[in-house]
Amino acid sequence: MWANEKFLSAITATQRTKGFSVVNRLGVCALLFGLLVIGVSARANSIPVDLDQIARIEAYLNGITTLRSRFLQKNPDGSISEGVLYLHRPGKLRFEYDPPDPYLIMVKDDWLIFIDKELAQTTYIKVEKTPAFFLTQQNVSFAKNFDITRFERRNGAVRLGVQARGDEPSGNVTLIFSDKPLSLRKWRAFSVDGGETDTTLINPSFGAALKGDIFEFEEPPTDTPN
């Protein structure tokens, strides 16, 4: 299940944090980063969809091996963030934000890692609690773990809204693709207060050759009292 209010209140059970207040950091993440903006919404049932089209999207996502792309992110407060995304499926993702944003978001194995280089702070969150799970899981299967809340195919675009299945309310994410050929272009996540964060891929290169060391990092040093 994706992060919800109950999860955030009990975050210490599933998150490891170094050098900061958990609540304050997640507040910053929710403001700035679409990868972490998962809001609480009413439980929705799956809507009738074309199963062939869903299978087409699953096959496309499962066929992605690597991706390098610039991205542009519109945050809930109206500000814009930019940077570079690197993806190596399964399990590896790097969002490197351009200055002045001093942030780096990485996925390695089961963890999403949020690094604030300016404050020398690092947060670990289970990746399954974030929309990054769509990009990094080994086998994308909407029927297994998600309810489909929206499906549209018109004007050369495909929009798929999904919500994690479970006993408690959870947030939802809309994935947006160009239709012919099918290609991921952006995703939209919803915050607790109803704000939207749009992340758009710019000149994506699927199948790009990536250096393995771009998915490695060292935690920023923290000051220790004498």
Q: What is the pLDDT of residues 73-112, one digit of tens each?
A: 998 888 899 999 999 999 999 999 999 989 899 998 788 8
- What percent of the chain lies above the pLDDT cut of 70? 69
**Domain-embedded: residue 214:** no
**Domain-embedded: residue 184:** yes
SS3 for the chain, per residue?
CCCCHHHHHCHHHCCEEECCCHHHHHHHHHHHCHHHCCCCCCCCCCCCCCHHHHHHHHHHHHHCCEEEEEEEEECCCCCEEEEEEEEECCCEEEEEECCCCCEEEEEECCEEEEEECCCCEEEEEEHHHCCHHHHHCCCCCHHHHEEEEEEEEECCEEEEEEEECCCCCCCEEEEEEECCCCEEEEEEEECCCCCEEEEEEEEEEECCCCCHHHHCCCCCCCCCCC
Kindly state the average pLDDT of the residues 167-191: 82
Selected residue with higher pLDDT from 153 and 45: 153
Task: Tell me which residue range forms the domain holding 146.
Answer: 5-205
Closest by CA position to 146, among listed 162, 131, 134, 161: 162
Residue 57 has pLDDT above 60, yes or no: yes
**Alpha-carbon gap, residue 119 to 220, rounded angstroms:** 9
* Total-model pTM: 0.77
Selected residue with higher pLDDT from 142 and 55: 55
**Domain-embedded: residue 148:** yes
**Domain-embedded: residue 217:** no
**Domain-embedded: residue 140:** yes
Q: Round the average pLDDT of the chain to a whole number and report it.
A: 76
CB contact burial 162-183 (16+ within 10 A = b; e otherwise): bbbeeeebbbbbbbbbeeeeee
Residue 50: which CATH number? Answer: 2.50.20.10
Count of domains for the chain: 1
Q: What is the pLDDT of residues 1-50, one digit of tens each?
A: 444 332 222 232 334 444 433 333 444 344 344 555 444 444 445 667 78
**Domain-embedded: residue 222:** no
**Domain-embedded: residue 221:** no
**Domain-embedded: residue 210:** no
Within 10 Å of residue 5's Cβ, how many Cβ atoms? 12
β-bridge partners, 200: 72, 186
Lowest mean per-residue pLDDT among 68-72, 163-167, 196-200: 163-167
